[in-house]
Amino acid sequence: MGRITLGNVEIIRVFERQLVQMPRAVVFPDSDPELWRRNADWLEPEFFEAGADELRFSMQSWVLRSEGRTILVDTGIGNAKQRPGMPAFHELDTPYLAELAAVGVAPEDVDVVVCTHVHSDHVGWNTQLVDGEWVPTFGNARYLISRADFDFWDPANGHEARSGPRMASVFEDSVAPVHQAGLTELWDDHYDIDANLRLEPAPGHTPGSAVLWLSSGTDRAAFVGDLLHSPLQVVEPDESPCFDEDEAAARVSRRRVLARVAGERALLVPAHFPGAGAAEVRAEAGGYTISGWAAFQ
């Protein structure tokens, strides 16, 4: 874990799993292996292992303290969740709540839960298993979920999803219980949490994927969820992982957000980057490059 302060907002990094390795050919099946080898000199060792052709990820949340409230951005995989379609996420037993407690956050302290999108590794700790029932973990919080994602992943609506079996039971055990408890706020065009924080759509990875924009004083940051799975996508934004529901839309969102991040000199904070955790991006030669890293200390 670590923390930084941007303007009047404190940001704390909390790990659920500090390192998860997955085959590059599984995550980016349509990507040229040579592209990864050419970039291995700067992707290794934090993000890529060329010898094994494996990618490295972190499973983490961000705690934001803004205007007297505690905001939790993405809630990870969760414990005891049945995820046979994603073996790395299946029936976990991690000390995630203890990690939150270590930075001074009890479940009842959380005022707002931001779900950048509805995927199993971003909504898992929305609920926990108590006496055989899935109940909201953060009972005093408002859970912010885009209406587009809520509607898309609701099995009652019968949408065909590229993710298929990977999303089995996710809505039922991690979204429906908080909605039934009256804790969700479904938003459409944008959602202002406070004067420092705004949610805006960035569709493609899922229909309702969102970016949380931070603007406080002269500081800027963008919590982009799964808009990027690897730093390589900063310099090669057309590279798409198998997890994107709509690759074409995701590419449009990725380029648009990167342009704004570079233009505003905002800190780029993806959901799964290990190492420093946040990148400084600049425009270069018609594209983008990573000019530095902001480590959470």
39-79 pLDDT, tens digit per residue, is 999 999 999 999 999 999 999 999 999 999 999 999 999 99
> What's the CATH code of the domain at 163?
3.60.15.10
Distance separating alpha carbons of residues 96 and 17, to the nearest angstrom: 9
pTM over 0.75: yes
**Amino acid identity for residue 41 in this structure:** D
Whether the ω angle into residue 45 lies within 30 degrees of 0, i.e. cis, is yes
Domain holding 167, by residue range, is 2-295
Q: Which two tokens stand for residue 132?
A: 């055989």
267-270, strands of its sheet edge to edge: 191-192, 197-201, 210-216, 219-225, 267-270, 277-284, 287-295
What is the number of domains present in the chain? 1
Confidence of residue 297 (pLDDT cuts 50, 70, 90): low
How much is the pLDDT for 1? 66
Q: Tens digit of pLDDT for each residue in 155-184?
A: 999 888 888 788 999 999 999 999 999 999
Q: Quick one: DSSP state of residue 266?
A: P
**Residues 84/168, Cβ–Cβ less than 8 Å:** yes
